[in-house]
Amino acid sequence: MLMSLFTIGLYAQEGFGEFSGNSVNVMDPSYRIYLGPKFGVNFSTMSGIDELNPSAGVGLQGGLAANFRFGRRTEKAQGGTGRFGLQVEALYSRRSISTDYVDVSMNCFELPILVQYYFVPSWSIEVGPTVCFSSPTVDNYNAGNYRFGADSSADVMISAGIGYRHKSGFMANARYNRGLSESFVAGKVSTFSLSVGWLFSLKK
């Protein structure tokens, strides 16, 4: 809902149009806004608990992505073809981590906010923070100095990756996320994700 309100606000502020006689010529805005679903898989692990021998687990993710592409690559190019963009997502992510003592699954709600640099028209480098709220699904369990429990936690992750977007709307991303805070156990979660999606332009 917040992403939809933001996109409507941007369109309203542009006010594009100029009068020529009795007609109005619609001006091409300098940006484009896209919205659509995305789905993928992630591979999760946890650092700081090496004694427990953690191994990566596979989980699914899915949600909604809003992409804002700014500027023009050349003077005569369409708007929204420039080198910079912003991608905001709302995702549900399932993470799984295995150790010698217990297997942990986490239900996560993620909010990535990534700045994009398009080094070629369809490929971009993206970097930014991801806010993550997670709730593990594991019974209370003690393993030496480590306590596994069912307490919810919040984390801010640093995300970096590479993205591809075709003019048809198809997109793909490969992304690494590094957690900055210790979770419900004395470790920091890291994930590597692969995803695909489809973005629809809000400008006809």
Q: Give per-residue pLDDT as tens, 140-165.
A: 565 555 556 556 678 889 999 999 99
SS3 53: coil
Distance, CA of 104 to CA of 121 (rounded, Å): 41
pLDDT of residue 185: 59
pTM, whole model, 2 decimals? Answer: 0.76
pLDDT averaged over every residue in the chain: 80
Cβ–Cβ < 8 Å for 11, 33: yes
Distance, CA of 94 to CA of 61 (rounded, Å): 6
Name the amino acid, one letter, at 143: A
- Given a cut of 50, whether residue 13 has pLDDT beyond it is no
Average pLDDT over residues 113-133: 95
Average pLDDT over residues 43-57: 76
For residue 102, what are the CA distances in angstroms to 77, 145, 147, 154, 167? 56, 14, 11, 21, 45
Under the banding of pLDDT at 50, 70 and 90, the label for residue 16 is very low
Q: Are strands 18-20 and 23-25 parallel, antiparallel or unpaired?
A: antiparallel
